[in-house]
Structure 1
Amino acid sequence: MIVETSFLQPWFIYLSFQAVHSPLQVPEAYVQLNHHIIDARRRLYAGMVSCMDEAIGGIVETLKQQSEWENTLLIFTSDNGANPKAGGSNWPLRGNKGSVWEGGIRAVGFVNSFFFDKNRRGSVTNELIHVTDWFPTLINVADGNLKGTQYLDGHDQWTTIRYGIPSTRTEILHGIETVDKSSNRAVFESIFNTSRTASLRVGIWKILTGLQGSSSRRNKSSLLANVRLFDIKNDPQERTDIAPKFPYIVTNMLQRLERYQRRMVSCHNPEIDPLANPKYHNGFWQPWQ
């Protein structure tokens, strides 16, 4: 994403790379750049990263040639964790793309701009930021307003990014399974059906429900068989389930999940459109509608 503010009216470019994503395909020259990587899938994956990096570098170079780079805000971000079966790695985090473990939901990114003070350049933030936050944040950067906009889930994160001020976001709903299941809800029957796959982060706490991952790490208590609680700040690898120690935290977070569930609306999944096939677009993935 790029926001440009040097003109009378700001302009915005959103560039969504197909890389890095399966299928693992890249010109041989980029594979050779990473010939030292033994694993074939990992080598292809790295080649795709090199190719994407070169493309982004071309954009930056063009902005510099047009004397616009110093007026540009560049945001680079991923959307989910990696798929190890396609050459990715989330180590040392647990879980893969498609899961609600940290390895599946944590996304990395960076923001580059001459707007930042020198003491903020190169800094790192671990504040909670969600994809829905980009819209109000960029509207603020572009001196726009949200008058007339319906209620937003997103938070304006510009002061957090620019000045390191703590984020106003305190929680993130990672997801709630849309298909209900019938099963024993144990002691939480009156709160939330814990057989449903769901996850919520509130402050340092993260709760997961449903039968996820290896049973060897599952809570052995029959009352908490489908519930896990983690202190993500001190245990980002989600190794120690502390649900039995903090039943009041579990109860409060399940109540929050139930509140979100009551506000859920049906998900619209459109039919697959064969016109999107790259064979109709000179072999490229591109907008087709």
Structure 2
Amino acid sequence: MAMTQPRTAYVATFLGTFGLLLVGCVFHLVQCQQQQPNIVFILADDYGFHDIGYHGSEIKTPNMDRLAARGVKLENYYVQPICTPTRSQLMSGRYQIHTGLQHLIIRPEMPSCLPLDDITLAQKMKEAGYATHMIGKWHLGFYKKACWPTRRGFDTYFGYLTGSEEYFTHLREKALDFREQEEPARNYSGLYSTQLFTQKAQGILEQHSNQSSDKPLFLYLPFQAVHEPLEVPPHYTQPYAHIKDKNRRQYAGMVACLDEAVGNITRTMDQLGLWKNTVLIFSTDNGGQVYSGGNNWPLRGWKGSLWEGGVHGVGFVSSPLLPAKVQGTITKELIHVSDWYPTLVAGLAGGSLNGSKLDGFNVWDTISNGYPSPRHELLHNIDPLTIVKPANATKVMGSKVFNETIRAAIRSGDWKLITGDPGNGSWIPPPGSGIQAHIPADPPGKMVWLFNITADPNEHQDLSSQRPDIVERLMQRLQCYYEGSLPVFYPGSDPRADPKYHNNTWSNWE
């Protein structure tokens, strides 16, 4: 009769084996957690707050809705009111008062770019071991090649350097503005940019998947869509034939094409096995332009303004790497576009922030674990070149209090202070909604507004006269920022920029 193993020995053997398995599993989990994720950052252009499906839009965005529903929606997320400032803050992690880009955009004939002594997000991601790729709109200056994406940290670049390019011809003011790496890309006329950028992104994903390199991927996709000119293949507008406003109808088709692009890119990642280790971030660069079909209802104002409609951005993060407890949630913690730099580099890539002078915060724990945001204040902007000069202007309080004639805005906790001329502050409903637009009737010479944004997110109740204590405190904060700001760098046009000197292309001239 065979001897049976004693129960105690059996249990010990089982526990020993289980223990080894447990240790192995824990070690595997640690390895997975330490693996650098792929990061895809999609930036839409002039995309309105009301124009995504989950904000109640009549424009259908099933792919973005699905991704957002499985991720974290950022509902207290801020960008800048126009293009270049948002992109500069994303790439530098710095307020525009610290880069000299406080005033308007970089125009193509300007000898200006994101300061070359600022280390870019792409450079830091590359330093952290990432393969770095950019497809789309740069708009951070190109007057000399040192300013170009390929010289600022991106391994590859396909797109355009200026703004307002035509979608099919890829011309701006009848001159070519399309680059593949650093060479003019002349063979893509007739191809719609949203679809073309998607195909290029899919190609990069396939190439990355086939490579034996262990490098993670950083793909920056600043789409041209949905900025004017309003152009889209006709079949995208067919579902919106009921929209009578032509601009809104064209814009809706452009959004539909953009949503399809996001779906195609994420589907390709899933098919290639990349999605399981990817974090996708979606953001707009500023509020929608109501004259070009965009809408920010129920927010006040639109693109170019310091009202919420200009700066309160659409944003979400989607990833299978997010803990289950935050998937499908909304965060109302304060997050700003400058926060992506430290969040991606330190929070996700495990890279070093040494040498970076940052105004942004690492908010990955806020997004992934629901922790309070480390950000309690943000500067929307101070633009000393935009000054109100009303007939009844008077000198404001004391030398240490901010000059209220300067266009500026700051958010601190629940409070938002605006000074000077913030831009048009009307509430514009979606065309065809049957809701009447509301135009505020501010008294002549008014230059200070105060809102409790948490209680009044649509800026209906100005509390500046009721809370002079808050006004005074935030004026002092603005003055503090102003004293630490760089002079605005906004040079005039350089005739050497004319494309006629560069084979009818927009190119560097220094």
Task: Give yes or no for TM over 0.5.
Answer: yes
Query: Unaligned regions of 5+ residues in structure 2, if any?
Result: 1-38, 42-129, 132-208, 426-438
| AA partner of residue 40 (structure 2) | I
Distance in 1, matches of 2:312 and 2:327, equals 22
1:234 aligns with 2:234: no
Distance in 2, matches of 1:158 and 1:95, equals 30
Report the number of matched residues.
Answer: 278
Most deviating of 45-54 and 267-276 = 267-276
1:208 aligns with 2:418: yes
- 1:284 alignment counterpart: none
Distance in 1, matches of 2:221 and 2:460, equals 36
Q: Is the 8 A contact 1:194 1:227 kept in 2?
A: yes
Distance in 2, matches of 1:188 and 1:34, equals 56
Q: Is the 8 A contact 2:288 2:296 kept in 1?
A: yes
- 2:482 alignment counterpart: 261
Q: Work out which of the two has the higher radius of gyration on C-alpha atoms and give 1 or 2.
A: 2
Q: Is the 8 A contact 1:96 1:104 kept in 2?
A: yes
Normalization by structure 2: what TM-score? Answer: 0.51
- 2:136 alignment counterpart: none
- 2:240 alignment counterpart: 34
CA RMSD of aligned residues (A): 2.7
Q: Is the 8 A contact 2:296 2:309 kept in 1?
A: yes
- 1:2 alignment counterpart: 40
- Write out per-residue CA displacement over residues 61-99 of structure 1, whole angstroms, 9 at most, x where no aligned residue: 211121111111111110111111100111111111000
- Write out per-residue CA displacement over residues 226-246 of structure 1, whole angstroms, 9 at most, x where no aligned residue: 211100000011111111121
Q: Is the 8 A contact 1:42 1:87 kept in 2?
A: yes
Measure how far apart 1:219 and its partner are: 6.0
Most deviating of 11-20 and 175-184 = 175-184
Q: Mapping of 1:1-289 within 5 angstroms?
A: 2=40, 8-140=214-346, 141-146=348-353, 148-179=354-385, 181=387, 183-187=393-397, 190-212=400-422, 213=424, 217-218=441-442, 225-269=446-490, 271=493, 273-275=497-499
Distance in 1, matches of 2:253 and 2:226, equals 9
- Write out per-residue CA displacement over residues 128-180 of structure 1, whole angstroms, 9 at most, x where no aligned residue: 1111110110012011121x323311100100111111100011111112227
Q: Is the 8 A contact 1:209 1:227 kept in 2?
A: yes
Q: Is the 8 A contact 1:219 1:227 kept in 2?
A: no
Distance in 2, matches of 1:40 and 1:207, equals 36
Distance in 1, matches of 2:222 and 2:240, equals 24
Distance in 2, matches of 1:16 and 1:280, equals 24
Query: Unaligned regions of 5+ residues in structure 1, if any?
Result: 282-286
Sequence identity of aligned pairs in percent?
A: 42
- Write out per-residue CA displacement over residues 28-71 of structure 1, whole angstroms, 9 at most, x where no aligned residue: 11111322322211110010011111122221121112111111
Q: Is the 8 A contact 1:219 1:228 kept in 2?
A: no
- Report the CA distance shift for 1:275/1:266 in structure 2 as closer, same or farther (over 3 A): farther
- Write out per-residue CA displacement over residues 236-264 of structure 1, whole angstroms, 9 at most, x where no aligned residue: 11111111121111111000001111111
Q: Is the 8 A contact 2:247 2:292 kept in 1?
A: yes
Q: Is the 8 A contact 2:400 2:476 kept in 1?
A: no
State the structure with bigger RCO (CA 8 A, min sep 6), 1 or 2.
2
Aligned-partner SS, 1:177 = strand
